[in-house]
Amino acid sequence: MDVMNKHKHEPGFTIIEVSLVLAIAGLIFLMVFIALPALQRSQRDMHRKNDMNRAASALNRYKSNNKGELPNFPNPVFSQVVGDTPLASYLLPEGEQFKDPDGGDYLLRFWKIPGREPNISVALEFKRVVFITYNAKCDGESIVAAGGRNLYAIQFGLEGGGTYCIDG
């Protein structure tokens, strides 16, 4: 009789308890690994939105210092990295960087063709292209023509989908 009582009171876990704990731990790990990439993508897109707001602020400061005029370029469509544009001193003060979260330089594409807008759906295939369209304003994620020669809209395709658009 002592032998039976001895076995009943030994501490330990049953195979069902161990299996249940492992299953719950597996579900937790699965949820983390599914949510983590989406969270990282969201953080990168937030960084990009902040960068586009910096670009709008730089354009507004440029306009303030140049009698309300936007930068003038010889071609109706002009593309350049930030450091080679008139906005460099406004976007890159004191050694600051204006780069995509992946580390690459943004390409500013100034679009000055009246009545036409860039094909942003094509632009989404090209990473780091910032469209700055003159005489335009945002209409949701797209742009529409706007009166006034010193108005602009900034568009940027987001990694998580959609387009970020800012009026200026």
* DSSP bridge partners of 144: 137
Mean pLDDT value across the chain:
82
pLDDT at residue number 20: 93
CA 4 to chain CA centroid, Å, is: 67
Once rounded to an integer, what is the mean pLDDT over residues 30-41? 86
pLDDT at residue number 125: 58
Q: For residue 11, what are its two tokens?
A: 């501490």
pLDDT at residue number 117: 60
> pTM value?
0.75
Please give the angle made by the CA atoms of 101, 105 and 111, to the nearest 5 degrees. Answer: 115
Of the ranges 8-17, 34-43, 83-92, 104-113, the best mean pLDDT one? 34-43
pLDDT at residue number 116: 61
Cβ contact 100:48 at 8 Å: yes
Once rounded to an integer, what is the mean pLDDT over residues 83-87? 81
pLDDT at residue number 113: 66
Q: What is the pLDDT of residues 98-150, one digit of tens each?
A: 889 988 888 888 887 665 666 655 555 567 888 888 888 888 888 888 877 78
Name the more confident of 76 and 49.
49
Query: What residue ranges do the domains of the chain occupy?
Result: 2-167
pLDDT at residue number 162: 86
Helix (H/G/I), strand (E/B), else coil: 130 = strand
In 14-136, which residue ranges form alpha helices assigned H by DSSP? Answer: 15-65, 88-91, 120-123
Once rounded to an integer, what is the mean pLDDT over residues 6-21? 79
Instruction: Supply the DSSP symbol for 67.
Output: T
pLDDT at residue number 123: 54
pLDDT at residue number 45: 93
Least confident of 30-34, 92-96, 115-119, 133-137: 115-119
Rounded to whole angstroms, how far apart are CA atoms 142 and 167? 11
